[in-house]
Amino acid sequence: MDDRAAMPERLAAFLSAVDPDRGRASCVHYEPMAGGYSRSMARATVTWSDGTTTVTETVVLRGDPPPGQALIETDRDAEWLVHQALTQLGALDLPAARYYDATGEHLGTKCIVMDFCEGESLQTWLEGRDDLAEQAILLAEQLAQIHQVRVADLPAELERPPDPERVIDDLIDLWEVIDRQHVNNSPIYRYVNTWLRANRPAPMPPTLVHGDFQNPNIMIDGAGERRMIDWEFAHIGDPREDIGWYNLYSSVAGTNLYQADPAGFLARYRELTGFDPADVNEWTVGYFTIVAAAKVAYEVLNAINGLATGAVRSTMAAHQAVGAITTGNGIYLDLIAGLEQAEEAS
């Protein structure tokens, strides 16, 4: 996907083959994009011509990096399944998933082609703003919209948790795997997974979970319209995973809208979803800030393990090893201390 010379022709041939009703596609501009830490991305300007009319549009390509270079390994088939289904449902604001090279024979890697979102990410858009409490409410509304998608409307192939109790247990089990498989013995991971198991909250009915809900994955255009991107971690699980992961990611990378007004955020979120304050509150969000980190932490630590054993060659993994992991460790410890204090106080 990084081959600027070959990709325009390959993309044009793929699009012409996969959507012949639109005529012949030509790729007039192609450039790799930064912005994702997991997938290879590129932006392309495509012209469709059926002999009488010509239409120009911009699309985004999202595929797998070369083997051994990915920071996070996820399944493109699974991402396409969810993204395409959500596009067809029309219940959420997101860039339409248009085409999929399911084998990689056309584009060199399994690759999703989707609409390009004009504008910028919420991460950069928020810089310098002083209305964060107001933005927290808008974020709560966007998240509630995702969690209100009817599970019955999602593809049957998308795995349903057989037992809501297992959703949290599976995440704790993943922390245990992290502890056992990490190339370094880390007392913090042992402490975290032992604590999580001893303090597990009640489960909630499963919902659609974005799985990587964070400011950089929300695009906002000039009119203020927001679109949710990067559905690679989407699954059916506990809705609090998304709030917890948002809280952790934003504590590491900056502009944490949840922390700008936790009470306001949760009140608006509960109002829209109808969830019970006993299930969705600052304590459970704190718990899920730790437990929901397991999925991404597992992938990142796998890459770091690979770097240590020589199986992975990724500067991104080196970069994560020296900053993200250590920052996350401090957050887990501080959160547990805070949650224990809150429990004692109550």
Partner 1 sequence: MIPRPSTAQLLQQCRRDLVDVVIPQVADETTAVTLEQIQMVLDVCAHRADNEIHDLVAETAEMEAFVAAALDDHPEGLPRTRASFDAALAQRPDGLRTPAIGAFHDLVAGAFSDAIEELMGMGDGRRVAEAVAWMRDVRQPREMAGTENWAMPGRG
Instruction: Kindly list the residues in this chain that would bind partner 1 in the complex (CB under 8 A).
Output: 2, 31-35, 37, 120-124, 179, 184-191, 194-195, 198, 215-216, 252-253, 315-316, 318-319, 322-324, 326-327, 329-330, 333-334, 336-337
Nearest distance, CB of residue 185 and partner 1, angstroms: 4
To the nearest 10 degrees (0 to 180), the angle between helices 294-309 and 164-181 is 20
Nearest distance, CB of residue 188 and partner 1, angstroms: 6
- Complex with partner 1: residue 85 or 294, whichever CB lies closer: 294
To the nearest 10 degrees (0 to 180), the angle between helices 262-273 and 282-291 is 90
Phi, psi of 215 (to 5 degrees): -55, -40
Nearest distance, CB of residue 252 and partner 1, angstroms: 7
Residue 92 in contact with residue 8, Cβ under 8 Å?
A: no
- Complex with partner 1: residue 243 or 336, whichever CB lies closer: 336
- Complex with partner 1: residue 48 or 231, whichever CB lies closer: 231
Nearest distance, CB of residue 42 and partner 1, angstroms: 9
Nearest distance, CB of residue 298 and partner 1, angstroms: 18
- Complex with partner 1: residue 96 or 188, whichever CB lies closer: 188
**Which are the contacts of 134, defined by CB distance < 8 A and separation ≥ 6?**
none
Tokens encoding 47 = 């012209």
Nearest distance, CB of residue 154 and partner 1, angstroms: 28
Place of tokens 């990067």: 230
Alpha helices, DSSP H, located in the chain: 7-18, 76-89, 122-125, 132-147, 164-181, 187-198, 240-253, 257-260, 262-273, 282-291, 294-309, 315-322, 324-345
Tell me how far apart the alpha carbons of residues 208 and 150 are, in angstroms, rounded to a whole number.
8
- Complex with partner 1: residue 187 or 274, whichever CB lies closer: 187
Tell me how far apart the alpha carbons of residues 118 and 221 are, in angstroms, rounded to a whole number.
6
- Complex with partner 1: residue 68 or 323, whichever CB lies closer: 323
